[in-house]
């Protein structure tokens, strides 16, 4: 009988790494200049604050799936409003316990 082990904590990306990747993905999709991408806040709303439309949100979900090797269910993508929502969703889909937003 073989036993499959879950990924070790060391294999999980750190929350800060996930945040940086999400900032890059969101900023590129929103057409932001590279120097402005690092100014994206976790509380920024994709549509109201960053100027994304519904197609951009779909593209962001696809990029996140590719970046992290996960599948984002439609209901999760539809409920995503802020950058922090994406970060927490990625961490949960990777099997990490969600951390409090700093």
- Pick the more confident residue, 95 or 18: 18
Domain membership flag for residue 45:
yes
Asked whether the CA dihedral 19, 24, 27, 30 is positive or negative, the reply is negative
Domain membership flag for residue 1:
no
pTM of the model: 0.81
Question: Structural domain tally of the chain?
Answer: 1
Domain membership flag for residue 100:
no
Question: Are the C-beta atoms of residues 20 and 87 closer than 8 Å to each other?
Answer: no
Per-residue pLDDT, 20: 96
Per-residue pLDDT, 76: 86
Catalytic residue among 53, 74, 78, 85: 53
Contacts 24+ apart (CB under 8 A), 69-75: 70/94
Average pLDDT of span 77-98: 88
**Residue range(s) defining the domain that contains residue 74:** 14-93
101 phi/psi in degrees, rounded to 5: -70, 130
Q: Is there a catalytic annotation at residue 53?
A: yes
Domain membership flag for residue 7:
no
Structure confidence by residue, pLDDT tens digits, 44-84:
999 999 999 999 999 999 999 999 999 998 888 888 999 99
Q: In this model, does residue 11 exceed pLDDT 70?
A: no
CATH number at residue 40: 1.10.1200.10
């Amino acid at each position: 009988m073989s036993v499959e082990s879950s990924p070790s904590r060391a294999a999980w990306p750190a929350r800060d790494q996930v945040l940086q990747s999400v900032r890059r993905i969101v900023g590129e999709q929103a057409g932001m200049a590279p120097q402005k991408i690092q100014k994206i806040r976790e509380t920024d709303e994709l549509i109201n604050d960053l100027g994304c439309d519904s197609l951009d949100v779909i593209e962001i979900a696809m990029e996140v799936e590719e970046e992290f090797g996960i599948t984002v269910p439609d209901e999760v993508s539809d409920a995503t409003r802020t950058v922090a929502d994406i970060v927490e969703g990625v961490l949960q889909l990777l099997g990490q316990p969600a951390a409090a937003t700093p």
